[in-house]
Amino acid sequence: MPKFEMDGIEISYLDEGEGDPILLIHGFGSNKSINWKGPGWVDLLVGDGRRVIAIDNRGHGESQKFYEPEDYGAPAMAEDARRLLDHLEIESADVMGYSMGARISAFLTLKYPERVKRVIFGGLGYGMITGIGDPEPVSEALEADSIQDVKDRVGRMFRAFAEQTNSDRFALAACMRSSRQRISEEDVAKISRPALIAVGTKDEIAGSPDKLAALMQNAQVLEIPGRDHMIAVGDKVYKQGVLEFLQSDIA
């Protein structure tokens, strides 16, 4: 996969297909292949006549790893996404983020609205504003000597996922501990780009998609029936809803 370095940060990405560009931003502990390639998103969007760019966020996949919490945070990762668009000389693109990637997409849209045509927030509703729980049990689970030592249910889930994806657990622990700059309701209300909020009906992490959509100027909700946070990403209802959203006219 190609890489580029800008402002001292090395970022890995994929770039496939031709047509209108869409930037994909994965969730915490995942990477461009697990989040987007494996579940069929890249092939689906390329088949729909689009140029698909997917980033490995810093600390994830094949991108540069950091081990201090201050090197992370959604605003910093949003700058990485902007750097990638600059590197590829893409003036504006549709953007889809999942979970942490949705939060990154929100910061990108707020700071650089001219770079975002439409935005899709997958796996994150009102939790974008309230946060999604205490990060410390997850960080401790990632740093534990063995998964057998992890008692916290959510921490154990993320530790198992990190082992499955052969991730750098200590980089992920630093990322999880990074300062979470809040997005206020007032900030969310400034997002004027067309937005789709796609959340599984059994997702206990995301928070209410309807409550988030009500704050925005031009947002709609897509419910993903019977799916929780971990398995909604590859769902056919999610995919079809995104295709229809991307084919709609921009107001």
pLDDT, mean of residues 22-35: 96
| Contact status, residue 48 vs residue 96, Cβ threshold 8 Å | no
pLDDT, mean of residues 225-237: 95
Locate 249 and state its tokens.
Answer: 């006219």
Q: Which CATH number fits domain 3-130+182-247: 3.40.190.120, 3.40.50.1260, 3.30.9.10, 3.40.50.1820?
A: 3.40.50.1820
* 36 burial via Cβ count (<10 Å: 0-12, 13-18, 19+): buried
Domain residue spans of the chain = 3-130+182-247, 136-176
pLDDT digits (tens, 9 = 90+) for 57-86: 999 999 999 999 999 999 999 999 999 999
Element (H, E) at 173: helix 169-176
| Contact status, residue 53 vs residue 22, Cβ threshold 8 Å | yes
Using alpha carbons only, how large is the chain's radius of gyration in Å? 17
pLDDT at 95: 98
Other C-beta atoms closer than 10 Å to the C-beta of 212 total: 27
**Mean pLDDT over each residue of the chain, to the nearest integer:** 95
Distance CA 233, CA 25 (A): 12
Distance CA 244, CA 49 (A): 13
